[in-house]
Amino acid sequence: MNVLGIETSCDETAAAVVADGGTVLSSAVFSQVALHRPHGGVVPEIASRQHVEHLPQLLDEAMAALEWPRLQAVAVTYGPGLASSLLVGLSAAKALALRLNIPLIGINHLEAHLYSVFLARNAPRYAESCPLVALIVSGGHTCLVRVDAPGQYRRLGQTIDDAAGEAFDKGAKLLGLEYPGGPAIDRVSALGDAVRIAFPRTRALKADFAEGLAPELCFSFSGLKTSLLYYLRDHPEAVRPPVLEDVAAGYQEAIVDVLVRGTKRALQRERVRTLAVAGGVSLNRRLRARLIEMAAGLQVRLLLPEAAHCADNAAMVAGLAGIGQGVTGEAAWALDACPNLELGAAE
Ligand code: KG4
Ligand code: ZN
């Protein structure tokens, strides 16, 4: 099945055509990062306006790969994300599917991120890789999910405050590095010593949430950010080289350590032999190295997305729809933007 995917949940406008869930015929992405950078973060009004301006061009680019009559479905992210941004993609997708008289498929952005690992070259099939544990680490979300089959999700843990990507972005801001902070900290940390300055590895406490999630599989990053704030107050020289590199590396190590430890506990508790890690933060080189090491130690198969599919893109949206997942039929036409959509219920 040839599916056109549309993604406008945050600050990337994207369209892609994927055949049969796995063959990416085209994938066009317009990143708005440069427009949001002067503001130090995503400005929702700018994001939605940019989606409106750029989506038509991106649809043309994506559809250069396929004649319109050969398109069989339109898939679109309907949450989670910024309401005003989600609405742009959702409205466009509904209009296109209605005009072409083909099915509309609503896709959960977090599920699409998870599916991105199956777009990689030589990746196994999704259904054959289950059961698995997924760590989804993006700018807005950090969660651990058990997957028993495509579409069957149980949330094991999540952050109780900031997402991992947010911790990178906020930390970078304190260090005077540019937005988005993840790539900047990744780059600067490569020159630093990760053990010279130790930042705390905060654990989520049982009292912090009441969702039936296991505290040992939950994350907390806001204390880490505060400790960086205090460190910089006491060591103003740390925002300049050569100390900057060590501070960034120590801060990154704390985030990575917390993510890897939680994920290891989830794998051991769930006794599964496959781990999928996806979302923008899965680009982080130190996180990848630590995950490879951990997975080898546990003899667990590690699935990671290719670089092009880590950050927001529409190939993961069209791909997931192409294997029969997502909201279809009348329910799809009734979909509204769901800014707080989650992945899987807690046990
Ligand atoms: O998945 P994504 O593109 O958008 C959301 O769905 O949120 O993730 C964006 C996040 C940002 O917080 C960004 O700083 C982070 O991914 N990121 C990284 C790296 N590249 C992007 N974090 C750490 N290291 C990186 N190399
Ligand atoms: Zn995302």
Q: Which of 22-26, 40-44, 296-300 has the lowest mean pLDDT?
A: 40-44
2-115+310-333 and 126-304: same fold?
Answer: yes
Residue spans per domain, the chain: 2-115+310-333, 126-304
Q: CA–CA distance from 143 to each of 85, 101, 140, 255 (Å)?
A: 23, 37, 10, 14
Q: Which of 83-92, 212-221, 238-247, 291-300 has the lowest mean pLDDT?
A: 212-221
Q: Is 89 in the pocket of ligand 1 (CB under 6 A)?
A: no
User: CB-side exposure of 9: number of CA atoms within 13 Å?
Assistant: 30
pLDDT of residue 203: 78
- Ligand found nearest the CA of 29: 1
Q: Is 115 in the pocket of ligand 1 (CB under 6 A)?
A: no
pLDDT of residue 202: 84
The reply to whether the predicted model has a pTM over 0.85 is: yes
CA 187 to mean position of chain CA atoms: 20
- At 346, the pLDDT band (50, 70, 90 cuts) reads confident
Question: For domain 2-115+310-333, is the CATH number 1.10.10.10?
Answer: no
Q: Which atom of ligand 1 is nearest to the CA of 12?
A: 3
Nearest to 17 by CA among 30, 37, 2: 2
- Ligand found nearest the CA of 137: 1
Q: Which fold has domain 126-304?
A: Nucleotidyltransferase; domain 5 (3.30.420)
Q: Is 139 in the pocket of ligand 1 (CB under 6 A)?
A: yes
Q: Is 79 in the pocket of ligand 1 (CB under 6 A)?
A: no
**Hey, whose CA ends up nearest to atom 6 of ligand 1?**
138
- At 208, the pLDDT band (50, 70, 90 cuts) reads low
Distance between Cα 141 and ligand 2 center (Å) = 8
SS3 155: strand
Distance between Cα 137 and ligand 1 center (Å) = 8
pLDDT digits (tens, 9 = 90+) for 117-146: 999 999 999 999 999 999 999 999 999 999
Q: Are 332 and 103 in contact (CB under 8 A)?
A: yes
pLDDT digits (tens, 9 = 90+) for 164-207: 999 999 999 999 999 999 999 999 999 999 999 999 998 777 65
Distance between Cα 89 and ligand 2 center (Å) = 14
Q: Which atom of ligand 1 is nearest to the CA of 113?
A: 1
- Ligand found nearest the CA of 32: 1
Q: Is 281 in the pocket of ligand 1 (CB under 6 A)?
A: yes
